[in-house]
Amino acid sequence: MNGSFAGGSGFNSLAPTRVFDTRSGSGGVPVAKVGTLDGSGKELKVQIAGTNGVPSGGSAAAVMMNVTVDATTASAYGGYVTAYPCGTAPPNSSNINFVSGRTIANSVVAPLSATGEVCFYVYGQAHVLADITGWLAAGSTVYTSMTPVRFSDTRSGLGPIPGR
């Protein structure tokens, strides 16, 4: 559990529901791993609003999901998955990092696009699964979307990045 929201906060909990699974082709996605080892792969677009208890028509600003990668293949530097609103550039951050042969899951809050879609970009290759666990109402004071920013990177020896 990551926390809780007070009643009337704009968070709407849902029983976990599988939105899609690239292993079985559910949710309108093909049966295939997503991504490429050289990073030239295309994003996977998934319609979220209007499905699985998430309202359509702009009522939902973001969704909470449990995102899992399976049957992963990564370069020597590893792989990653980023979830973001379709129609925008992928942020310079990841939601899941992985190495080859691992199954990894993470809780993700992803803003919805104007058409209610979330895009998933995979650097490396993986099957991707997502389970919706709730949604945040548009105009809610509990959720403000922002572009992810890296504030620390221990690989560079800098630790916290000044000014962030």
CA distance 69 to 61: 24
What domains are defined for the chain?
Answer: 11-137 (2.60.120)
**pLDDT given for residue 28 in this prediction:** 84
**pLDDT given for residue 1 in this prediction:** 38
Mean pLDDT, residues 137-153 taken together: 65
**pLDDT given for residue 93 in this prediction:** 87
**pLDDT given for residue 7 in this prediction:** 53
pLDDT band at residue 2 under the 50/70/90 scheme: very low
Give pLDDT tens digits for 75-111. 999 999 999 999 999 988 899 999 999 999 999 999 9
Letter string b/e over residues 23-54, b meaning 16 or more CB atoms within 10 A of that residue's CB: eeeebebeeebbbeeeeebebbebbbbebbeb
CA distance 19 to 54: 11
Give pLDDT tens digits for 114-141. 999 999 999 999 999 999 999 999 877 6
**pLDDT given for residue 66 in this prediction:** 97
Give pLDDT tens digits for 32-83. 999 999 989 999 999 999 999 999 988 999 999 999 999 999 999 999 999 9
